[in-house]
Amino acid sequence: MFQIKWIWENMKGYRGRYILALCMTVIGQIMYLTSPIFSQNIVDTFIYNENAAENLKNNSKLLIILCCGMVLFTLMRTVIQFNANMLYEKCSQGMLSKIRNYLLANVQKQDMTYYDRYRTGDIMTRLSGDLDMVRHSVAWIIKTLLESLVLFCSTTVFFFILDPLMALCLLALTPLIFIISGMLRKEVGPKFVDLRERLSQLNTQAQENIAGNRVVRAFAREDHEIERFQEKNSEYSEANKTASLTWLKYFPFIETTAQGLMVVHLIAGGIFVITGRLTMGEYVAFSGLIWTLSNPMRNVGALINDLQRFLASASKIIEVYYSRPIVVDRADAKEMPARLNGEIEFKNVSFSYGDTEVLKDISFKIGAGETVAIMGETGSGKTTLINLIPRLYDVNKGEVLVDGVNVRMMKLNNLRKNIGMAMQDVLLWSDTIDGNIAFGDSDMPEEDIEVFAKAADAANFVKNLSDGYDTIVGERGVGLSGGQKQRISLARALAIRPSILILDDTTSAVDLETEKHIQENLANLDFNCTKIIIAQRISSAKDADKIIILKDGMISEMGTHDELLKNKDGYYTEIYNLQQGNIE
Amino acid sequence: MARNKFDVDENLESPFDIRHLKRAMVYVGRYKWRMILSLSLSALAVIIGLFAPVITQHAIDEVIPSGDIPMLLIWAGLLLLTIVVNIILATIRSKIMTKVGQDIIFDIRSDLFEHLQRLSFEYYDSRPHGKILVRIINYVNSVSDTLSNGIITFVLELFNIVFIIVFMFAMHWKMALVVLAGVPFLMAFIMFIKNRQRKAWQAVSNKSSNLNAYLHEGIVGVKVTQLFVREDENAAIFSGLSEAYREKWMKAVTYNNLLWPTVDTISATVSACIYLVGLLVIGPASVSLGTIVAMSGYAGRFWQPILNLANLFNNFVNAVSYLERIFETLDEPIKVDDKENAETLPAIEGNVEFDKVTFAYDESKTILKDLSFSVKKGESVALVGPTGAGKTTIVNLISRFYDVNEGAVKIDGYDVADVTLKSLRSQMGIMLQDSVVFSGTIADNIRYGKLDATMDEIVAACKTVRADEFINEFPKGYDTEITEGGSTLSQGQRQLIAFARTLISDPKILVLDEATSSIDAKTEKLLQEGLDKLLEGRTSFIIAHRLSTIRNCDKIMYVANQGITECGTHDELMAKKGDYYKLCTAREREEN
């Protein structure tokens, strides 16, 4: 089974300890089986013995030794078992941490297409509930399996020594357990797959509700949300019941088989005693140990059940574990200087999301230090175009070059460290404001943070917040107004002193005066930087060295402000007139 | 507002509270008949189980020595019968309890979710969303078994113990005392670890909450992480959180794992003592040897249920650490709620009045002070002013997302605080700054504004906001699935969808908070034309920076200095040469 091999791979560093724990379990189990020796001895010597009274009188030391031995033996056993358990915990937690950390790292490396396929709630389920199931199996399923095995094997050997025929009679029921378990496995497997799918859906439903809590309130859709959640809640609940009831369907048969040993023992043993094959003492010896066969037998069913659950969860995690992003460093990636110049060139670039072609045959060139504005209608491909520069997506056709080198030939880190991007959909972290600004360089000194906050015209409002730069903003920046968020996001982009600065409609929610300040500040940065600005307003675009107008994924106009205004039917002129006309 | 972040534990300073248990019992109590039924079945099973040893005993003592094989088969049949009956009872009990357990967590989860729906923005804004999520999903799952099977096991084992104690005392009270002498040691041990164990499990739940919070943000914020090449650093932070969790977990399970070896050792000691006391102290003279053997057997049967109870105790301490969190959330006060005798707001005409409104998000910083203004039905009002001045706050107060500290917000003369939230908000169309769309098809998203909207209505709304065109360009049109990754729709397109969603709800008062900021000027103009027709006779509040949007409004309010400093039409304010004039001329200078 691949899942188990995968677990074993991830146990590296803990394998030795895990095997040690398994050995300790075997020892503990054997000690458990042999512990009655002490009381047996006491009973044989001091109670049911012809010379019991005499022994007691002359040899009371032995009694005390045996009693102490009994306590010490138990103490030793529990110490061993305790340590074994702690080792299981240590190993399973170690493995859990390792897998979890790897998963987060891996999830973070996935490109945007991955996030188009998987929902947040689904990924969360895999990294929480599913992972816990895997931990549980490593910690306990294997241990229980081993304990059962030790019990079963040692007793079987003992029984065969005692009387092979009797042993065979008792073991005759064993195949039955395997047949029943096999049936259970087949039936319950899909139920667990369904169950964890329902959990994922429930998680997604709740996650989206929390993320969209403002919309829910705004539309007074609380009842509707509750209804939808209840649906998922009840589906999950039903799936849980179905899985449990499937187990309970087989449970009586497994249990009857396991306890049926007592009946077999009574019939076979009875007949053997009657026919003189067994002594009464041997019969009683068998009966005292029947549980050591029946317990493992009943455990098999429960283990198969748990195992199926483990498999359902593990395969979901493995899917994430082995996901590989499409956008990766090439093996023959070129070494580039740490700081790029910032020349950008698009050569016949086409790009589509699935079947929808978004960019068609885009070509343009931006010199280092130039400012380029991109304008165009909603959905014309502006954001897609700039996403291609830091390789959030790879082009389908053509190439994007930075400093004359195809970005696909660069190392992602090298490339991205040179690009400061403020996205349209501002995403801040639930962290302090300075933590957010210094996101790209967490060692940044306070003074620098303030410098960049000033450049983004955020310093003033930050100062007015109760905790200043230590104010914690909520997830996604809630608590700040749209314009404030945009400015923090701009400061964050500036703070890495990028050689390419990309602003995706970053000033749409700030007032005009602030926008003007920001533009002045951007023109006077103390480092060289190529700027690409997506804008809706002419005022943001007009001073650019080059203005690119996108229409349906193609460049329809390109030039300076004055050049574009010459084209009387052009989009730029139209927008210019539209916005100019408002002033009168 | 004190905000929590991923690496800050949410402290819970309440001491162990028996009320948590009582509250949990309320959920269990709903199923008391089924619980009692399964308890009875279990009790019955225990009684029937007692027959098995009797049957085997009889077989050994009488049947086998007599050599009567048919008789042996009959007794074997009897044995099989008791076994089968026992198993059937156990199965039925398990089936009942499985359902009860699931029903209990269904109930808790429903209550939790319903309560969360009534909490205001503030709750969601002040903590990472992953921490809320983990409560609804993971914590609730963790308590199911303890609250269903745990209780049954508890009662049964308790009976078992009492039963055996009575038996032991009936047999030999002195020896019985020896068996019981171990109990105080166990109690002392439990007392010793109880609080530590509880604290340890609380710490585990805290750390798991932190871990999930970071995980959630890590997934949501992945694009920023990649752009800023923060993958390694984030992974390191996450490893730190993982490590903190592991540490607390190891500590907590150490306590758990200590419990049963203690019970085992005490149990062995007690057995040894029985032999010692029985043989050496009391002496075979005054206690029969059979009694000693029997007592040592009872000691085992007495300590086994105690061992089970100890395990139960472990689960219980663990479950309580989650229950506390669940109840804490359920106890979160609802800040904005319907008053007891809240009336339904009749169909809104659209007169809005602020009557000496004072508002602060927290005590230290007043946002609005003594603000009064009135807007007549059908008027369109633009709110302008510096960011952070309180424009969004004003519109939030109209929809009663927050309650005013002083004064009143009135719609058609009704104080918004006196009407039901549902009747108020369902008549308002509020377009927020960030246009959240849900996963689902485009049509589903628009239908969110009017659950029973027909396809024609949806298309009409989309035509009004100029979204119809781009939607139809998708191969699947209105059935296109919107994904979280967001490659399907651009930000501007999302805003248009959100716009259509608001319009289809047929709002009497429309609030647009930067609703068109990501939409290009040309589309906006077309949209505006459609909107103008639609807005006729409806009151609207618009927050925007674009003058093109602002200047067409009937009334422009300049928000600054905790109130409205200027109010009038575009021409009036331009003539006044105040802040608004400055704003417009700054723009003009820029343009030329």
CATH number (domain holding residue B272): 1.20.1560.10
Query: What residues contact residue A390 under an 8 Å CB cut-off, 6+ apart?
Result: A415, A416, A419, A421, A502, B226, B227
The dotted CATH code for A344-581 is 3.40.50.300
> Considering the domain boundaries, does residue B143 fall inside one?
yes
Query: What residues contact residue B494 under an 8 Å CB cut-off, 6+ apart?
Result: B435, B437, B486, B518
Beta-sheet strand order (sheet of B352-362): B365-375, B352-362, B406-411, B414-415
Q: Are residues B215 and B130 in the same domain?
A: yes
Given a cut of 70, whether residue B549 has pLDDT beyond it is yes
CA–chain centroid gap for A466, Å, is 36
Please give the full DSSP string across B394-451, using - where no structure is assigned.
HHHHHTTSS--SEEEEEETTEEGGGB-HHHHHTTEEEE-SS----SEEHHHHHHTTST
User: Hey, is A544 helix, strand or coil?
Assistant: coil
Instruction: Indicate the pLDDT class of residue A326, thresholds 50, 70 and 90.
Output: confident
Nearest one of B319, B375, B384 to B551, comparing CA atoms: B384
Structure tokens at B309: 């109870």
Q: Mean pLDDT across chain A, nearest whole number?
A: 89
- A-chain CB neighbours of B439 within 8 Å are 119, 204, 208
In whole angstroms, give the CA distance from residue A281 to residue A40.
14
Given a cut of 50, whether residue B592 has pLDDT beyond it is no
- Estimate the crossing angle of helix A142-162 against helix A280-321, to 10 degrees: 150
Instruction: Indicate the pLDDT class of residue A583, thresholds 50, 70 and 90.
Output: very low
> Considering the domain boundaries, does residue B441 fall inside one?
no
Residue that is last in its domain, among B314, B330, B346: B330
- B-chain CB neighbours of A271 within 8 Å are 69, 72
Are A475 and B217 a contacting pair at CB < 8 A?
yes
Given a cut of 90, whether residue B535 has pLDDT beyond it is no
Q: Are residues B159 and B300 in the same domain?
A: yes
Nearest to B137 among A73, A203, A221 (CB): A203
CATH number at residue B556: 3.40.50.300
Given a cut of 90, whether residue B122 has pLDDT beyond it is no
Q: Are residues B209 and B139 in the same domain?
A: yes
The residue ranking higher by pLDDT, A568 or B519, is A568
Mean pLDDT check: name the lowest of A423-432, B301-310, B527-536.
B527-536
Per-residue pLDDT reduced to its tens digit, B26-44: 898 999 999 999 999 988 9
Residues facing A557 on adjacent strands? A549
Given a cut of 90, whether residue B283 has pLDDT beyond it is no
CA separation (Å) from B139 to B108, B116, B132, B178, B215? 10, 15, 10, 42, 16
What was the ipTM of the complex prediction?
0.89
- B-chain CB neighbours of A429 within 8 Å are 217, 221, 224
Nearest to B98 among A60, A248, A479 (CB): A248
Per-residue pLDDT reduced to its tens digit, B35-94: 999 999 988 988 888 888 888 888 888 888 888 889 999 999 999 999 999 999 999 999
In whole angstroms, give the CA distance from residue A459 to residue A516.
15
How is residue B283 annotated by DSSP?
-
Report the pLDDT averaged over residues B321-333. Answer: 90
Report the pLDDT averaged over residues A57-74. Answer: 89
Q: Are residues B143 and B247 in the same domain?
A: yes
Nearest to A512 among B292, B495, B545 (CB): B545
> Considering the domain boundaries, does residue B500 fall inside one?
no
Interface test with B, best of A244, A481, A489 (most B CBs within 10 A): A481
Q: Are residues B279 and B415 in the same domain?
A: no
Segment B441-446 long-range contacts (CB within 8 Å, at least 24 positions apart): B441/B476, B441/B478, B441/B479, B441/B480, B441/B481, B441/B482, B442/B471, B442/B474, B442/B477, B442/B478, B442/B479, B442/B480, B442/B482, B442/B497, B443/B478, B443/B479, B445/B482, B445/B497, B445/B501, B446/B497, B446/B500, B446/B501, B446/B504
Enter the pTM of the model.
0.89
Q: Are residues B256 and B356 in the same domain?
A: no
| Distance to chain B for A3, nearest Cα, Å | 23
**Nearest-Cα residue of chain A relative to residue B62:** A270
CATH of region A128-325, choose from 3.40.50.2300, 1.10.730.10, 1.20.1560.10, 3.40.309.10 = 1.20.1560.10
Per-residue pLDDT reduced to its tens digit, B348-364: 999 999 999 999 877 77
Q: Which one-letter amino acid corresponds to residue B536?
A: E
Burial B229-254 (b: 16+ CB within 10 A, else e): bbbeebbebbbebbebbbebbbbbbb
Beta-sheet strand order (sheet of A554-559): A419-422, A500-504, A530-534, A371-376, A546-551, A554-559
Residue that is last in its domain, among B98, B131, B157: B98
Helices (H), A137-221: 142-162, 164-171, 174-211, 213-218
- A-chain CB neighbours of B259 within 8 Å are none
Residues facing B365 on adjacent strands? B362
Report the pLDDT averaged over residues B314-342. Answer: 89
Mean pLDDT check: name the lowest of A519-528, B151-160, B416-425, B511-520.
B511-520
Report the pLDDT averaged over residues A454-469. Answer: 87
The whole-number pLDDT of residue B200 equals 93
In whole angstroms, give the CA distance from residue A547 to residue B280.
104
Given a cut of 60, whether residue B346 has pLDDT beyond it is yes
Mean pLDDT check: name the lowest of A42-56, A198-212, A359-373, B172-186.
A42-56
Nearest to B129 among A230, A384, A475 (CB): A475
> Considering the domain boundaries, does residue B107 fall inside one?
no
Report how many domains make up chain B.
3
Instruction: Indicate the pLDDT class of residue A286, thresholds 50, 70 and 90.
Output: confident
Q: Are residues B273 and B420 in the same domain?
A: no
Pairing of strands A371-376, A530-534: parallel
Are A237 and B103 a contacting pair at CB < 8 A?
yes
Q: Are residues B301 and B363 in the same domain?
A: no
> Considering the domain boundaries, does residue B400 fall inside one?
yes
**Nearest-Cα residue of chain B relative to residue A207:** B133
Domain housing B259: 119-330
CA–chain centroid gap for A228, Å, is 25
The whole-number pLDDT of residue A6 equals 92
Q: Are residues B155 and B263 in the same domain?
A: yes
The whole-number pLDDT of residue A499 equals 94
Per-residue pLDDT reduced to its tens digit, B188-218: 999 999 889 989 999 999 999 999 999 998 8
Report the pLDDT averaged over residues A479-483. Answer: 78
- B-chain CB neighbours of A235 within 8 Å are none
Nearest to A217 among B238, B242, B401 (CB): B401
Determine which helix (DSSP H) or strand (DSSP E) holds A363, and give its type and residue range: strand A356-366
> Considering the domain boundaries, does residue B532 fall inside one?
no
Instruction: Indicate the pLDDT class of residue A584, thresholds 50, 70 and 90.
Output: very low
Residue that is last in its domain, among B296, B330, B364: B330
Are B83 and A263 a contacting pair at CB < 8 A?
yes
Are A475 and B586 a contacting pair at CB < 8 A?
no
Determine which helix (DSSP H) or strand (DSSP E) holds A371, and give its type and residue range: strand A371-376
User: Hey, is B491 helix, strand or coil?
Assistant: helix
Q: Are residues B564 and B587 in the same domain?
A: yes
Given a cut of 60, whether residue B1 has pLDDT beyond it is no
Spans of all domains in chain A? 1-109, 128-325, 344-581
Q: Which one-letter amino acid corresponds to residue A202?
A: L
For residues A401 and A340, the answer to whether their CB atoms sit within 8 Å is no
Are A128 and B138 a contacting pair at CB < 8 A?
yes
Interface test with A, best of B94, B224, B253 (most A CBs within 10 A): B224
The whole-number pLDDT of residue B537 equals 82
Q: Are residues B151 and B188 in the same domain?
A: yes
Please give the angle made by the CA atoms of B202, B205 and B208, to the nearest 5 degrees.
150
Are A222 and B118 a contacting pair at CB < 8 A?
yes
The whole-number pLDDT of residue A114 equals 86
Q: Are residues B221 and B288 in the same domain?
A: yes
Structure tokens at B98: 């499985």
- A-chain CB neighbours of B225 within 8 Å are 108
For residues A109 and B231, the answer to whether their CB atoms sit within 8 Å is yes
Percentage of chain A beyond pLDDT 90 is 51
